[in-house]
Chains A and B, each alone.
Chain A
């Protein structure tokens, strides 16, 4: 009986002790929450701990240093000292401006992350859930789970494969392209090389891998000999001119990659048939595209606001623009040169109402 009473007393004592501990814990939590609610800079602290708020954390570090000094001198706790200093810090208009600026940077970064987070996470979730469903379906012999697993895995894989490509805004590509052409134009004009640009591929190169532009000093349609070109010089004396890698060769490579073909191995009929579809439907570079070919002249009609704008700008704003060509016209000149294995010159390029009409001629040099 006595031992039973003792057990009950001990149990009650333990319960009371546990209740007291719980009460103390609860009071601590409430006090901490109140402090956090009344402390306007705690948002700052959480921000300073993030990767994006490096600048903010630097600012707070200086505050921390000063707060420690006050803590030592006046006997305040570090938290209170920080609070006092941050209050003073924020009160100054300049500092408040800094604070807002940093906050703005941080929020902009967060917004960008949220906006362009991609589809990796959703793809991963779908695939892993599908995989789990398939595993469970195997062990539980469930047909429903199998179908669910197959569906989720497939769509997860598709989200990985199909979705994550991004577009660059039209304005950016236009500005970058036009800027590069303008620089090239100014450079060539300033050193006096103002002849008609000849687009060509070196004959001795295997598979005609790299497209070149030869800009003669005068109006002669001549190219250096194959032996001279093989030396890979930039400046040539006979005929006088500059040979540089064509900036639009990247586009030609893209066309080849998309069509899975080497243009050196196909004829113009292939180009007439496949290039319009590639440019208008697959790459969506232009709205409409057609090629006509008579003898050694190729006439190209392109419809598309973006490319017409760039072409028009290059024609109007640059000295060599009409025969140096916009990126698309120059790329088509390279394609024509590669297919025919002959040097090509842009004969004429006109832009009207969002459409470009460019004609090319092959040279017998």
Chain B
């Protein structure tokens, strides 16, 4: 019982997710009129940056442990 992934796994997942979101926030159109949905790309970028910071913190923590 318990989560079997390590902190580094979580960091890697955050890194990949943030990268995808950052690319998406730059590339995609904010308006998808077929389903009448608008995406606030500004907010999306903010979330992506927050996730990137979390990833960098975890990476830094790993480096510190390794040293």
Contact = CB atoms under 8 A, between A and B. Distances in A.
B9 to A, nearest CB: 8
A251 B28 CA distance: 28
B5 to A, nearest CB: 6
A137 interface: yes
A138 B36 contact: no
Contacts of B47: 158, 161-162
Given A119-B37, A141-B2, A154 B43 contact: no
Contacts of B10: 150
Interface in A271-311: 282
B3 interface: yes
Nearest to B41: A162
Contact of A165 (B4, B13, B40): B40
- Please report whether the interface of chain A is mostly helix, strand, loop or mixed according to DSSP: helix
By size class, the interface of chain B is 10 to 19
- Please report whether the interface of chain B is mostly helix, strand, loop or mixed according to DSSP: mixed
Nearest to A137: B3
Interface string A168-208: 00000000000000000000000000000000000000000
B61 interface: no
B13 A158 contact: no
B40 A143 contact: no
B44 interface: yes
Contact of B37 (A143, A147, A154, A163): A163
Contact of B38 (A141, A150, A163): A163
A166 B39 CA distance: 9
Interface in B6-60: 10, 13, 17, 21, 36-40, 42-44, 47
Interface string A115-147: 110010000000000000000011101110011
A167 interface: yes
A227 B18 CA distance: 55
Contacts of A154: 17
A242 B38 CA distance: 42
A154 B4 CA distance: 19
Contact of A163 (B21, B40, B42): B40
The 7 closest A-B pairs by CB, nearest first: A162-B44, A162-B43, A141-B4, A165-B40, A162-B40, A143-B4, A115-B36
Interface of A: 115-116, 119, 137-139, 141-143, 146-147, 150-151, 154, 158, 161-163, 165-167, 282
